[in-house]
A = this chain, B = another copy of it.
Amino acid sequence: MIPDQILYSLVIPTESKLVMVVIDGLGGLPVRGRTELEAAKTPNLDRLASKSACGLIDPIANGITPGSGPSHLALFGYDPLQYEIGRGVMEALGIGLKLTKDDLTARGNFATVDRNGIIVDRRAGRIASEKNREMCQFLQEEIKEINGVRISIYPGKEHRFVVVFQGEGLRDELTDADPQKEGQKAKGTEYLTSEARRTAEMVNEYLRRVTLTLQPFYPANTILLRGFSKVPDIPSMTERFKLKPAAIATYPMYRGLATLVGMEVLETGETLREEVETLKNHFHEYDFFYFHFKKTDSAGEDGNFQKKVKALEEIDRIFPFLLKLRPDVLVVTGDHSTPSLLKAHSWHPNPILLYSKYVRPDGVRRFTERYCQQGQLGKFSAVEVLPLMLANGLKLKKFGA
Identify the stretch in A18-26, A146-154, A167-175, A383-391 within 8 Å (CB) of chain B at 4 or more residues: A383-391
Please tell me if A164 contacts chain B, counting CB pairs below 8 Å: no
Contact A388 B86 (CB under 8 A): no
In contact, B63 and A396 (Cβ under 8 angstroms): yes
Set B67, B380, B387: member contacting A400, Cβ < 8 A = B67
Task: Report how far A50 CA is from B222 CA in the complex, Å.
Answer: 54
Q: Are B360 and A369 in contact (CB under 8 A)?
A: yes
Name the contact of A391 in the complex, choosing from B10, B71, B86, B347 (C-beta under 8 A): B347
Judging by beta carbons under 8 Å apart, are B387 and A66 in contact? no
In contact, B63 and A400 (Cβ under 8 angstroms): no
Partner of A387, one of B63, B70, B80, B373: B63
Which of the segments A281-289, A310-318, A319-327, A338-346 contacts the partner chain?
Answer: A338-346
Within 8 A of B (CB), among A205-239: 227
- A349 on the B face (CB < 8 A): yes
A259 within 8 A of B: no
Q: Which residues does chain B contribute within 8 Å of A373, judged by CB atoms?
A: 362, 374-376, 378
Q: Copy number in this complex?
A: 2
Instruction: Determine the main DSSP class of A at the interface with B.
Output: loop
A348 an interface residue at 8 Å Cβ cutoff? yes
A399–B342 contact, CB under 8 A? Answer: no
Question: Contacts A360-B30, A376-B56, A378-B379 known; A398 to B345 CB distance under 8 Å?
Answer: yes
Closest beta carbon of chain B to A68's beta carbon, Å = 7
Q: Is A199 an interface residue when CB atoms closer than 8 A count as contact?
A: no
A-B complex: 5 closest residue pairs judged by Cβ atoms: A63-B387, A378-B379, A63-B391, A67-B400, A90-B401
Chain A interface (Cβ within 8 Å of chain B)?
1-3, 6-7, 10, 29-30, 35, 56, 60-71, 80-81, 84-87, 90-91, 227, 339, 341-342, 344-349, 357-363, 369-370, 373-380, 384, 387-392, 396-401
A–B pairs, 21, beta carbons within 8 Å:
A2-B61, A62-B380, A63-B384, A63-B389, A63-B390, A63-B396, A70-B399, A85-B401, A87-B401, A344-B398, A346-B358, A346-B391, A347-B388, A348-B360, A349-B376, A362-B373, A369-B376, A373-B374, A373-B375, A374-B374, A378-B379
